[in-house]
Structure formats: C-alpha cells, structure tokens
Amino acid sequence: MKFKSFRAIAVSVIAVVVVGSTVLGVRACGAVPHQQFAKSPAVTLPAAQTPTAPTPALAPKQQLAEGELALRKMDLDIVGLLSRPMNGNRIKDAFPASAYKVNIYKDDGFAQANRLKVDLDRDGKDDEKWTIEGAGADLKVKRQVSPNDDGNYSEEYRLVGGAWVRKK
C-alpha cells in the first residue's frame, strides 16, 4: 500500500470518528432540558424531585427589614442539597469546586441532614454552624457565625421568610 493511500484512509477514519462523536454529543445535549442547568451547577435534582415552587422559607425576599440579611447563593445551594436524601451519615466537602467547604451531617435518629459546618475560606476552621429541623415548608434553620474565624460563634441567625434574621 502506498503512503498516499494509507494517509487518505487514515484521514477518512479520523473524520468519521470526529463527525460521529460530535453528532452523538449534540444529540445527547439536546435531550437535557435547559431548566436543569439554570439552577446551581453544584446541585442538580432529578426531574422527579425538582420542586415546582420554592417554599416560603427559601424564596429570597426583595425588601429586607432592619436586622435581616439576604440569602447568599451559597445558602440556596446548601438548602437545595439538604432537600435530597442522604446516603450514609456524612457528606464531606459537598461543593468541592467552590471557594467554601461544606460538611453535612445526619446524626442517628434523623431521617435527613440535621446539621452542617461551613468553612468560607477553606482554612480548616469552621466559620458557620447550621442546625436544621424539619423539611420543605416546615424547614427551620439556625445559623451560628464565628465572625473572627476563631471558633467563637457569637452571632446567631434564623431563616425566616427568605432572609436571615439576627437573634437578639
């Protein structure tokens, strides 16, 4: 076989493989609804578990009263993950590609996660502790914050009506 014939066959085979994989890739991507990617990329729920409307506790408030803090994107991602069932009793670094680290725990006697720890700067010291009770519309979250990143949780917030309300 001459080199020219071999080269023509090799180029043809490579072209068929590239075109075929491109067509299959486009067809596979076209089958996924775009709404699934509009949510947090770190947390995607199967279509059967996707909530149709946010619960009152999660719908971010447009107008904040004095002493209220808006929900962060991280907060929405975490609460979205909490709505999913857990396999085992711990999720270590639930969002590995993010700037923050979240460890989620399900203690004995609980059906879902009941507490978590957040390290905002990944320095090995937890900046926040959350205590979770209930689920869905009955979700109650207590957030304790260590403003100096020293393990002293001097600030406390509750998730109420789509905002963090500081405990007095």
Question: How high is the pLDDT of residue 107?
Answer: 92
pLDDT at 87: 85
Asked if 100 and 122 count as a contact pair (C-beta separation under 8 A), the reply is yes
Q: Please name the amino acid found at residue 89.
A: N
Residue 136: what pLDDT?
74
Q: Are 32 and 44 in contact (CB under 8 A)?
A: no
How confident is the prediction along the chain (168 residues), in pLDDT tens digits per residue? 788 888 888 888 887 777 777 766 655 555 433 333 333 334 443 443 444 444 545 566 667 887 789 999 999 999 888 878 888 999 999 999 999 999 999 999 888 899 999 999 999 999 999 999 887 778 899 999 999 999 899 999 999 888 999 987
Residue with tokens 């009793």: 89
46 strand-pairing partners: none
Query: pTM for this one?
Result: 0.63
